[in-house]
Structure formats: C-alpha cells, structure tokens
C-alpha cells in the first residue's frame, strides 16, 4: 500500500446497547491482525486481518475497498464458514482530512451459513461517528460467494466470500524470533509447523540484501522470505466493494482515508 493516499487500519470491536437504540461499538487497532486476542479467536468472523484500498483494475472511475476477516481458514474449512449475522461490518471513509468518518458502507448477513444473503447499506452519511454505529438506509443485498459482479442500484459492486489470504507474512520466521507467540507450543494445539518451542532461533526476518546490511551496518538474514499464509493455503473471507469514486471523493479534499470496523451489540 506504499504510495497510496489512504490510511489502513484493521479493527475489532466491543459493543454496548444504549437506551432504546441498537448501537454497535468498536475499538479499532492498527495493522495486520490475525488471532491477536481471546475475543477475536472466539469470534473469528469478526476478526479483521487486513484492510486494503486500491484502484479498480478495470475501471479508473472506481475504487476498491477490501476488508478480510476470519484468519487462517484451511482448505478443509472452505464451504463451512461465512460471515456472522450478529456482526456489523463497516468501511469508514474520511474525505475531509480530520480523521472523522464522513461516509460509511455497512454490511450485515441476514442468516448464518454459506447460504446467507448480505444486506448492504450506503455509502452514506453515518448516523453517528466514532466507536458507536447504527445502520443507515439499505442499498441492496448480495448472496455469499456471488462472483457475478452484478452492480447494485448505486453502481457499487459487492463480493463476499472465501479467498486466498493476500497478506504476505513470513509467520514461521516471526515465531522463530518471538517463540512465545507461537500457539503451536501451547495446549491444546500441536506443533503443526515444527517451530522450536524453546528460545529464539532467529534474530531477524528473512529476505534482506547484502546492500541493506552494508548500508545499515547490520547482518539481517539473506535467506529468501517465505509467505507462510499462502504457502500453507490459508484463506480468509474477503468483503470487497468496488465503488464509483464519485460516491466517495470530496473534490475539495482529494485524499481519502479508509478504515474498517466489526461491531456487535453484545460486547463479545
């Protein structure tokens, strides 16, 4: 995402019910995030792994926003996992530069399971800003894993379904650097990757160059980096919206900030 005029934030949420209104609340966190708290492990469909924003590859008038959830889906789990109907999935867009959302796109499935239909709301002005949210008027709906790309009435295309995890991360080397983060060494898991469960066996990530080491007077590993997530065929559920830029951009401030949240009313 380097060079793109967008901010990338992944978020997991807690929530409260306030008064007679059903409000969804969020506590955002920054950066790629796979299974980093008991709350997210217990509700993987609300565990945001990454958020991306990029130019639509086939239409210069559109921008694509993508939120990936449910980390580390194995091949055998495909066809059995889908979005959680208790969760509000939300893209937030700041188009004035103040870090406060001016527009939101919200999604929520109507039922559990891979036969679910997902309601889509917005893009539109949020009813609230910050950590509490409620639904804005609905735009349309899309079936889980519908790959037809049929536009909604506002021209937005939506895809929700399983995809290969696009995030490049040399996870096993990370575990070798900080072994206590390796869940394979903690009951009831088994050491599926064969990572040493003792002390650290690596001091840097792989993939550095001799020129880098010389420039920085260091000796980082020259071993090629390995994309652990895709090489072990891990998948995520991708929530992808392709949106006409005209629906999101503010001509007076042509830089757009994007982040995402998942929220529940139960707080867990």
CA-CA distance, 111 to 222, in Å (whole number)?
Answer: 49
Shortest Cβ distance from residue 252 to Ca ion (Å)? 12
Closer residue to Ca ion (CB): 126 or 162: 126
Token pair of 230 as six digits: 């895709």
Closer residue to Ca ion (CB): 238 or 256: 256
The residues binding Ca ion (CB under 5 A) are: 94, 96, 98, 100, 102
Shortest Cβ distance from residue 253 to Ca ion (Å)? 8
Residues 133 and 90: beta-carbon distance below 8 Å: yes
CA-CA distance, 234 to 133, in Å (whole number)?
Answer: 31
Place of tokens 């639509």: 56
Shortest Cβ distance from residue 92 to Ca ion (Å)? 10
Shortest Cβ distance from residue 98 to Ca ion (Å)? 4
Report the phi/psi class of residue 67: left, alpha or beta, with left for phi > 0 and alpha for psi in -120 to 50: beta
Shortest Cβ distance from residue 128 to Ca ion (Å)? 14
Shortest Cβ distance from residue 259 to Ca ion (Å)? 12
Closer residue to Ca ion (CB): 84 or 94: 94
Residue 206 bridge partners (DSSP): none
Closer residue to Ca ion (CB): 67 or 93: 93
Residues 134 and 23: beta-carbon distance below 8 Å: yes
Cα dihedral sign for 229, 116, 113, 34? positive
CA-CA distance, 176 to 170, in Å (whole number)?
Answer: 10
Shortest Cβ distance from residue 255 to Ca ion (Å)? 11
Residues whose CB is less than 8 angstroms from the CB of residue 98 and which lie 6 or more positions away in sequence, other chains included:
none
Residues 139 and 121: beta-carbon distance below 8 Å: yes
Closer residue to Ca ion (CB): 122 or 179: 122
Closer residue to Ca ion (CB): 119 or 250: 250
Closer residue to Ca ion (CB): 41 or 100: 100
Q: Which helix (H) or strand (E) holds 141?
A: strand 138-143
Question: For the CA atoms of 144, 145, 146, 147, what is the dihedral angle to 10 degrees?
Answer: 160
Closest chain position to Ca ion (CB): 96
């Amino acid at each position: 995402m380097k060079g793109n005029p967008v901010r990338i934030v992944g978020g997991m949420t807690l929530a409260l019910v306030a008064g007679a209104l059903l409000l969804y609340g969020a506590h955002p966190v920054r950066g790629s995030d796979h299974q980093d708290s008991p709350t997210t492990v217990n509700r993987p469909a609300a565990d945001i792994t990454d958020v991306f924003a990029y130019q639509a590859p086939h239409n210069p008038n559109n921008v694509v926003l993508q939120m990936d959830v449910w980390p580390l889906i194995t091949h055998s789990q495909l066809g059995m996992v889908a979005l959680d109907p208790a969760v509000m999935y939300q893209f937030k867009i700041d188009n004035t530069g103040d870090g406060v959302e001016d527009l939101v796109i919200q999604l929520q499935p109507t039922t559990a399971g891979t036969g679910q239909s997902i309601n889509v709301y917005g893009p539109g002005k949020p009813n609230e800003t910050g950590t509490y949210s409620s639904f804005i008027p609905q735009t349309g709906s899309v079936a889980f894993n519908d790959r037809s790309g049929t536009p909604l009435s506002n021209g937005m295309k939506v895809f929700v379904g399983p995809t290969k995890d696009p995030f490049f991360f040399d996870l096993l080397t990370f575990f070798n650097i900080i072994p206590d983060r390796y869940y394979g060494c903690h009951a009831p898991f088994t050491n599926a990757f064969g990572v040493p469960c003792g002390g650290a066996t690596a001091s840097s990530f792989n993939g550095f160059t001799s020129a880098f080491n010389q420039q920085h007077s260091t000796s980082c590993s020259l071993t090629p980096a390995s994309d652990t997530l895709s090489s072990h065929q891990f998948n995520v559920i991708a929530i992808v919206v392709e949106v006409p830029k005209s629906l999101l951009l503010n001509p007076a401030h042509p830089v757009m900030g994007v982040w995402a949240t998942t929220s529940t009313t139960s707080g867990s």
